[in-house]
Structure 1
Amino acid sequence: MNQDATRPAATDFMSTPSMFGAPCWVSLTSRDLEATMDFYHALLGWTWRPARLGEHFRVALSDGRPVAGIAAVAAMWQMAVAWTPYFAVPSANEAASRVRERGGTVAVGPISLTPGRAALLADRDGATFGVWEGELASDWESWRSSAPAFIRLHTRDAFDAAIFYGEVLDWATGGAGCCEVVYEGGEVVLRSFGDPVARIESGALEAAPDPSIRPHWQVHFSVADVAACARAAEEHGGSVLSKGAEEAVLRDRDGAQFTVTSRQEP
């Protein structure tokens, strides 16, 4: 297999965004780089190019645009196999400090990378997320149009979670480029420049927090054919956890969970 693109790694990152607090990237930790690349190429048509971080890393391309990162370090670094969203911040150090002050956890970093600084964090309920300070792997609008449809936090108390993330990521502060937070359709919705970019849900508005929920961020990828993606997942060593007409919850061959959502054509 040779799905690596020939464009140089020097183009991995673009200009610093004018927004902050919004999701700006998603990354997958896996055990087997080649197997993971094969799986997502078959499922989503992604091709690959080398990343600046070394031989265990790749950047996924959709129609030539960077959309996600793969890090085959789960076994090496004793990390969970999972998809993780990253949020753009002015300062990774400040975001990490805010997480600690509010009862969350700093798992990794902040660390300096060639184009910026990153940290891997967890909120008060254990849901893992990252923050990124610096240049982005793709123009933000291009990434939004060709990468995940959105991300959703499944948690025990949506309003408590919204307060935590709002304080860490400066949501609804009124500054230029910050995100707006609204409640609609039974969920807390994060909007950036008017577009919904993340959702937080915990069940019915008046329901008590559900102790059975394992809080986590779920990445939703926009696809043309949900049923075809579900079949491809099973044919290439993954599994289907649930499936409907508009979306399916899948696991890749390493065990990372994600959702494919029907693309709404204009």
Structure 2
Amino acid sequence: MDTFSRDMPGAPCWVSLATHDLAAAEEFYRAVLGWEFRGSRLGEEFRVALAGGEPVAGVGAVVARLGVPTAWTPYFAVGDADVTAARIRERGATMAVGPLALPTGRAALAADREGAVFGFWEGEVVPRWGTGRDGPVWVELHARDPFAAAVFYGEVLGWADERPGSLDVAYEQGHVVVRRGTRTVARIDAEAAEAAPDPQARPRWQVHFTVTDLDAVADRAVRHGGGIASAVTTSAAHRRVTLRDWAGALFAVTEATRRP
């Protein structure tokens, strides 16, 4: 049965890497994360990454054509891309690309008022995306003002409204946590981001992928031309680190330390 963005309003529904070299991207992520790749209905410039046989992410050679930076970007499900674009403009943020008509829906890129880039999608979505063992753990916004960011995204994407299927938003242990049912799908954290040249210190969305051996993944990233972009952080439940791929795109990997 098909699943559509209107059925999961405001929830992350996909992540995509904008790159300038599809072949190099496939080689890196196959070696580091063990992904396989197949074609997509979006054309020769787009590929779908598979983890355990399930779609986990998109990779598109769109940097030159659309003028976007090499980066990982989360996409949020919306019922009407035009309405969402209007809400973004009304709140002083920036529409960067689209909405563009694609074979399975409509996509757009925007930047919030602090400059963090995100996408939104109206149309068919991958059923149960992000819930598998190898799917994204969550997407996380590093923001100067997490409360203002939560209000912005709540108004733009319809978080915590009265519609069926809307997301719950709560403040827990210094973080804004966004859930769909019992599953955490997004988090907003404060970030020391005062005009720093370090891209990690600027407001941005970060994508987390689940791995079983964080140290081995980090080592493979370095050996295949990437790098380690942060110290490893450890909690009672997880170990996490931010990595950099061969072209400079940042992503995070998370290893569970507390087994179910």
Q: What TM-score, normalized to structure 1? A: 0.89
What displacement does 1:187 show? 0.5
Q: Does 1:254 align with 2:242?
A: no
Q: Does 1:76 align with 2:65?
A: yes
Q: Does 1:164 align with 2:152?
A: yes
Listed one character per residue, the Cα deviations across residues 162-204 of structure 1 (whole Å, up to 9, x for unaligned) are 000000001111211000100001000101112111000115x
**1:41 aligned residue:** 30
**2:185 aligned residue:** 197
Residue type of the partner of 1:144? Answer: T
Rounded to whole Å, the distance in 1 between the matches of 2:168 and 2:240 is 26
**2:169 aligned residue:** 181
Listed one character per residue, the Cα deviations across residues 19-47 of structure 1 (whole Å, up to 9, x for unaligned) are 21010100000111111001001111110
Rounded to whole Å, the distance in 2 between the matches of 1:257 and 1:55 is 24
1:238 to 226, 237, 241: 226
Rounded to whole Å, the distance in 1 between the matches of 2:65 and 2:75 is 21
Listed one character per residue, the Cα deviations across residues 126-165 of structure 1 (whole Å, up to 9, x for unaligned) are 10001111111x212x532231111110011000000000
What displacement does 1:55 show? 1.2
Q: Does 1:124 align with 2:113?
A: yes
Rounded to whole Å, the distance in 2 between the matches of 1:253 and 1:52 is 26
SS at match of 2:97: strand
Residue type of the partner of 1:107? Answer: A
The answer for unaligned runs of 5 or more in structure 2 is 196-200
Q: Does 1:21 align with 2:10?
A: yes
Listed one character per residue, the Cα deviations across residues 213-236 of structure 1 (whole Å, up to 9, x for unaligned) are 411001111100000010000010
The answer for unaligned runs of 5 or more in structure 1 is 1-12, 204-208
Listed one character per residue, the Cα deviations across residues 28-71 of structure 1 (whole Å, up to 9, x for unaligned) are 00111111001001111110110111111100011111110001
**2:198 aligned residue:** none
Q: Does 1:144 align with 2:131?
A: yes
SS at match of 2:165: coil
Q: Is the 8 A contact 1:154 1:202 kept in 2?
A: yes
What displacement does 1:76 show? 3.3
Q: What TM-score, normalized to structure 2? A: 0.91
Q: Is the 8 A contact 2:138 2:208 kept in 1?
A: yes
Residue type of the partner of 2:79? Answer: P
1:95 to 80, 84, 90: 84
SS at match of 1:20: coil
SS at match of 2:83: helix
Report % sequence identity: 51
Rounded to whole Å, the distance in 1 between the matches of 2:56 and 2:193 is 33
Rounded to whole Å, the distance in 2 between the matches of 1:147 and 1:122 is 24
